[in-house]
Amino acid sequence: MKGKHIVLGISGGIAAYKAAYLLRLLIKRGAEVQVVITPNGKEFITPATLAALSGKPVVSEFFAANTGEWHSHVDLGIWADLMVVAPATASTIGKMANGIADNMLITTYLSAKEQVMVAPAMDLDMWRHPSTQRNIATLRRDGVIIVEPASGELASGLTGKGRMEEPERIAEAIERYFNNVESLKGRRVVVTAGPTYENIDPVRFIGNYSSGKMGFAIAEEFASRGADVTLVAGPVSLNLENESVRRINVTSAREMHTATLEAAADADCVVLAAAVADYAPERSEERKIKREGVEEMTLRLVRNPDIAASLGKEKGDRLLVGFALETDHELDNAHKKLEKKNLDMIVLNSLRDPEAGFMKDTNRISIISRDGEVKEYPAKSKREVAADIVDAVTARLVR
């Protein structure tokens, strides 16, 4: 981040003292930092400390009291390469989401042309509150990067999620942002996500527990790095935050097969994160099956096309990334799958792992490459896992 201009917004929470550590880390790594603090923020940390660490007077009021000099939030927006709000209280997040510009930090945010990143800090009940979650979702939709709060002991004495992420982790997120921005510009990526539903009759289907969260997070992560992304999504109730992603909704494996092959025709990379049903009923009844007089029933199933294998057959120089969800002989089975489907990489989750798999918000993965290299990662949120997967793809795609 050498030479980068960062606006550090500080709002009024106990975690404001940690902003001083963050500021020091950013300066140490060569960034130029301008602090903007809310009136409440000054109750928790003094502008004198922040000015000394940043080497710049701290901006807090619209006008400097002694000289009447106007502090231009517009100029700050032009100067900055990134704005980071840490800590962001529930109130500041609410004001940002709703454009309530009653202090210098919010006017700076509203004038910001650069990327904005927010590190929330609050009590667990405030974090969980529907109002806060709504505002966070709004900020995400508006393109703001959220550095999720950590779980642990809170200032209130309670334990839970809401504690501002440690300064080192926020600095890492900033470093990652500067390294990654636009790194995949011009690259075309297709991602499959979610389950497929195979109809038995108009009201019944065979499906699976895939939530689609992992695939959606991967699509978002690619898009945030400037890639041109098509997401082929099975039936899930998820929304995309990044509006640049082209979403194609499908229901059955056959539909997913057709849509994916078509989208993949000119792609540089295809990530197969969907949990595709391997079999479908031989026929889907047009009318609802009635139970009257039927004591036993046999469903005849036929094989669905394998999307990954179809792509592997005509691979070209497209990078193919598959997923394997295994219960035993994990590494062995994953490697066999990679070979059989002619993939470049396979992401393994073990169903034995309580922090991995369907319906969870966290995942623990290993990435196995064609040459047999295995990289293991610790348990992380699905969004962080998505960043690891996209990092691995980027290393192959951009040489």
Residue type at 57 in one-letter notation = P
Question: Considering the complex, what minimum distance in angstroms separates the CB of residue 326 from ligand CTP?
Answer: 7
Dihedral sign for Cα 375, 376, 378, 379, please.
positive
Per the rule left: phi > 0, alpha: psi between -120 and 50, beta: everything else, 252 is beta
Is 337 near ligand CTP (CB under 6 A)? yes
Is 125 near ligand CTP (CB under 6 A)? no
Residue written as token pair 């809310």? 38
First to last CA, the chain: 21
Nearer to ligand CTP, 109 or 323 (CB): 323
Question: Considering the complex, what minimum distance in angstroms separates the CB of residue 334 from ligand CTP?
Answer: 9
Question: Considering the complex, what minimum distance in angstroms separates the CB of residue 308 from ligand CTP?
Answer: 4
Site for ligand CTP in 29-68 (CB under 6 A): none
Is 361 near ligand CTP (CB under 6 A)? no
| Catalytic residue, candidates 180, 208, 242, 342 | 208
Verify whether residue 208 is a known catalytic residue. yes
The residues pairing with 345 across neighbouring beta strands, listed in sequence order, are 321, 369
Sole binder of ligand CTP in the list 164, 259, 269, 307 (CB under 6 A): 307
Nearer to ligand CTP, 167 or 234 (CB): 234
Question: Considering the complex, what minimum distance in angstroms separates the CB of residue 87 from ligand CTP?
Answer: 39
Q: Which stretch binds ligand CTP (CB under 6 A): 41-49, 54-62, 161-169, 301-309?
A: 301-309
Helices (H), 144-189: 167-180
Site for ligand CTP in 210-269 (CB under 6 A): 253
Sole binder of ligand CTP in the list 114, 306, 355, 391 (CB under 6 A): 306
Structure tokens at 92: 């500041």
Nearer to ligand CTP, 14 or 338 (CB): 338
Sole binder of ligand CTP in the list 25, 36, 173, 276 (CB under 6 A): 276
Is 278 near ligand CTP (CB under 6 A)? yes
Is 323 near ligand CTP (CB under 6 A)? yes
Q: Which stretch binds ligand CTP (CB under 6 A): 218-226, 232-240, 322-330, 377-385?
A: 322-330
- Percent of the chain that is helix, strand, coil (3-state, to 5): 35, 25, 40
Q: How many residues bind ligand CTP (CB under 6 A)?
A: 15
Task: Report CA Rg, the chain.
Answer: 24
- For residue 350, what are the contacts with CB-CB under 8 A and spacing of at least 6? 325, 326, 327, 330, 356, 357, 364
Sole binder of ligand CTP in the list 38, 92, 252, 304 (CB under 6 A): 304
Helix (H) / strand (E) element for 151: namely strand 150-153
Nearer to ligand CTP, 308 or 356 (CB): 308
Buried-exposed string 203-231: b where 16+ CB fall within 10 A, e elsewhere: eebbbbebbbbbbbbbbbbbbbbbbbbbb
Nearer to ligand CTP, 105 or 189 (CB): 189
Buried-exposed string 66-102: b where 16+ CB fall within 10 A, e elsewhere: eeeeebebeebbeebbbbbbbbbbbbbbbbbbeeebe
Nearer to ligand CTP, 245 or 253 (CB): 253
Reduced to 3 states, what is the DSSP secondary structure of residue 210?
A: coil
Nearer to ligand CTP, 27 or 309 (CB): 309
Which residues in this chain contact ligand CTP in the complex, by CB under 6 A? 192, 253, 272, 274, 276, 278, 304, 306-308, 322-325, 337
Catalytic residue numbers read 208
